[in-house]
Amino acid sequence: MKKLLIGCMAAIAALVALSGCDQDKVVYNGASYLMFSDTLYSYPVQETNEIFKVPISTTAPVDYDRTFAVEVIDRESNAVEGKHYNILSNTVTIKAGEMTTNVDVQGFYKNLNINDSLGFAMRLIIPEAEQWKLYGTEAKVVLHKIRPFDIKNFTGYCVVTSTYFQSYMNNLELRLVKSDVVEGKENTVVIHNLYYDGYDTEITFNRDDIQESLVEMEEQVCATTGQAFGAPYGNGKLLISQPTAYTSYYSTNENFVFQYVTMSVDERDGTSFGTVGTFMHVIEWISDAEAEKLKEQGY
């Protein structure tokens, strides 16, 4: 909400600038207010108990240091300070001439459960003259426990369910398949027979940002058009790729991949023959015992 309001303010400022021919630019010259930079934050708590920062900002710098307190609002919190997290200092300072500072918080990995939905609310203790009523003085922080990434957790037996199955594979409920680590390719696994027997599909786990656990996939062949549709359309190869318009991701907590894929066929000269469609699938890794039970059921 705050970002939306800031965007609107920027648009208004642009209009004012355009309407004044003798004005080169519009500069904020109002009061110096203090606020959390946003009203809601979501932070992953890792095994290493790394410190994360909740940013505080001001609308204008001043020529002196400003030190103020931060308090937890107990009635709006279900995470317990000292058990689930610690605020490393209840006072923070925005230095003279600067416009930002942070509240340092440390989450406790061992005291959080995977399915917990815990958080806490904070309030700035500042003079009324420095409070911007439009934004207020409070913010909420949600804590998420994130298990460490281990590529081995994404190998072995896995179950695939897909909207493609419903449309082109006679409402097939699921496929029981297996995956292995791809040697020489970082954080990459190969899934054997993902859609059709005899074809392997490689996917890569992007580890750049633990808050955005994304999967990536290059275009590759997943079947022949004869296997899929009973006829040799185009060059006879059914391609699978990952569309950029949708987000595909993985979970280290539940060991699954949620992925959007586009199926298409090219002509023999490399031009497009046509697109079959864009589908969603979930790949969930299971234990050997679970796999054996599915085999007994005919999967």
User: Who has greater pLDDT, 263 or 20?
Assistant: 263
Does this model's pTM top 0.85?
Answer: no
What does the alpha-carbon distance between residue 114 and residue 128 come to, in Å, rounded to a whole number? 40
> Residue 124: CB partners within 8 Å, gap ≥ 6?
34, 35, 36, 56, 68, 69, 70, 131, 137, 138
Q: Which CATH architecture has domain 28-145?
A: Sandwich (2.60)
User: Is residue 257 scored above 90 in pLDDT?
Assistant: yes
Higher local confidence (pLDDT), 12 or 208: 208
Q: What is the pLDDT of residue 25?
A: 57
Print burial letters for 83-109: b (CB count within 10 Å at least 16), e (below 16). Answer: ebbebeeeebebeeeeeebebebebbb
Q: Does 11 score more than 60 pLDDT?
A: no
Domain ranges of the chain: 28-145, 151-296
Joined together, the tokens standing for residue 237 give 């190869």
CATH class belonging to 151-296: mainly beta
Identify whether the C-beta of residue 149 lies closer than 8 Å to the C-beta of residue 155: no
DSSP H/E element including 58: strand 51-58
Please write the tens of the pLDDT for every residue from 166-216.
Answer: 999 998 999 999 999 999 999 999 999 999 999 999 999 999 988 889 999
Distances (CA, A) of 133 to 40, 121, 232: 17, 18, 67
What gap in Å lies between CA 112 and CA 175, rounded to an integer? 34
Bridge partners for 202 per DSSP = 190
pLDDT in tens, 209-248: 888 899 999 999 999 999 999 999 999 999 999 999 999 9
Give 27's pLDDT tier (boundaries 50, 70, 90): low
For the chain, what is the mean pLDDT?
90
